[in-house]
Structure 1
Amino acid sequence: MRRGNFKYLLCACVMVCIYYFFGVSDYIHSKSFDDNFDYPLNINIKSIVDDVLSGKKVTVTPINYYPYRFLTNSGKCSTTHKLDLFIVVKSAMDHFGHRDAIRQTYGQENVPGRTVKTLFFLGIDGKQKSSLQKQIDKEMADFKDIIQMDFIDNYYNNTIKTMMSFRWVYEHCPTADYYLFTDDDMYISVHNLLVYIHDREATRKPEPAGFTTNYKSITDTAETDSDFLYTGYVFNSAPQRFRSSKWRVSLVEYQWDRWPAYVTAGAYVLSNKTLKVMYIASLFVKHFRFDDIYLGIVAKKVGIVPKHCPDFYFYKKKFSPDGYKDVIASHGYEDHAELIRVWCEMNSL
Structure 2
Amino acid sequence: MRRMQCYKYGVCACVFLYIYYFFGVGDYIYSKSFEDDFDYPLNIDIKPIVAEVMSGKKPSVAPINYYPHRFLTNSGKCSTLEKLDLFIVVKSAMGNFDQRTAVRQTYGQENLVPGRIIKMLFFLGVDAPPKSETQKRIDEEMAQYKDIIQIDFLDNYYNNTIKTMMSFRWLYEHCPIADFYLFTDDDMYISVTNLLDYVHELTASVLEINKTEKERDVNIFSGYVFKSAPQRFRSSKWRVSLDEYPWNKWPPYVTAGAYIVSNKSMKMLYVGSLFVKHFRFDDVYLGIVAKKVGIELTHCPKFYFYKKTYSKIGYRNVIASHGYGDRSELITVWNEQNSVV
TM range (shorter): over 0.9
Kindly indicate whether the alpha-carbon contact (under 8 Å) linking 2:221 and 2:296 is maintained by their aligned counterparts in 1: yes
- SS of the equivalent of 1:51 reads helix
What is residue 44 of structure 2 aligned with on the other side?
Answer: 43
1:59 positional shift: 2.5
- SS of the equivalent of 2:202 reads helix
Q: 2-side partners of 1:164 and 1:204: how far apart?
A: 29
Q: 2-side partners of 1:80 and 1:107: how far apart?
A: 18
Q: Which runs of 5+ in 2 are unaligned?
A: none
1:80 positional shift: 4.8
Q: 2-side partners of 1:278 and 1:177: how far apart?
A: 15
Amino acid at match of 2:77: K
Kindly indicate whether the alpha-carbon contact (under 8 Å) linking 1:261 and 1:296 is maintained by their aligned counterparts in 2: yes
Q: 2-side partners of 1:288 and 1:337: how far apart?
A: 35
Out of 126, 129, 132, which is 2:131 matched to?
129
Amino acid at match of 2:40: Y
- Determine if the alignment matches structure 1 residue 73 to structure 2 residue 74: yes
Pair 1:91–1:23, CA change in 2 (3 A) = same
1:322 positional shift: 1.0
Q: How does 1:1-349 map to 2 (within 5 A)?
A: 1-78=2-79, 80-110=81-111, 111-205=113-207, 227-348=218-339, 349=341
Kindly indicate whether the alpha-carbon contact (under 8 Å) linking 1:234 and 1:309 is maintained by their aligned counterparts in 2: yes
Q: 1-side partners of 2:125 and 2:66: how far apart?
A: 17
- SS of the equivalent of 2:329 reads helix
1:90 positional shift: 0.1
Amino acid at match of 2:204: A
Pair 1:88–1:213, CA change in 2 (3 A) = closer
Q: 2-side partners of 1:80 and 1:331: how far apart?
A: 31
Q: Which runs of 5+ in 1 are unaligned?
A: 216-226
Give CA-to-partner distance per residue, 1:284-312, whole Å, 9 cap, x none: 00000000000000001011111100100
1:54 positional shift: 1.2
Give CA-to-partner distance per residue, 1:62-83, whole Å, 9 cap, x none: 1110000001011211275211
Calculate percent identity across the aligned residue pairs: 69
Q: 1-side partners of 2:144 and 2:114: how far apart?
A: 25
Scaled by the length of structure 1, the TM-score of the pair is: 0.94
Pair 1:79–1:204, CA change in 2 (3 A) = farther
Scaled by the length of structure 2, the TM-score of the pair is: 0.96
Kindly indicate whether the alpha-carbon contact (under 8 Å) linking 1:187 and 1:329 is maintained by their aligned counterparts in 2: yes
Pair 1:230–1:214, CA change in 2 (3 A) = closer
Count of equivalent residues? 337
Give CA-to-partner distance per residue, 1:13-52, whole Å, 9 cap, x none: 0000000000001001100000000000011210001111
1:214 positional shift: 6.9
1:202 positional shift: 3.2
- SS of the equivalent of 2:89 reads strand
Pair 1:234–1:62, CA change in 2 (3 A) = same
Pair 1:29–1:179, CA change in 2 (3 A) = same
Amino acid at match of 1:339: L
Q: 2-side partners of 1:172 and 1:46: how far apart?
A: 24
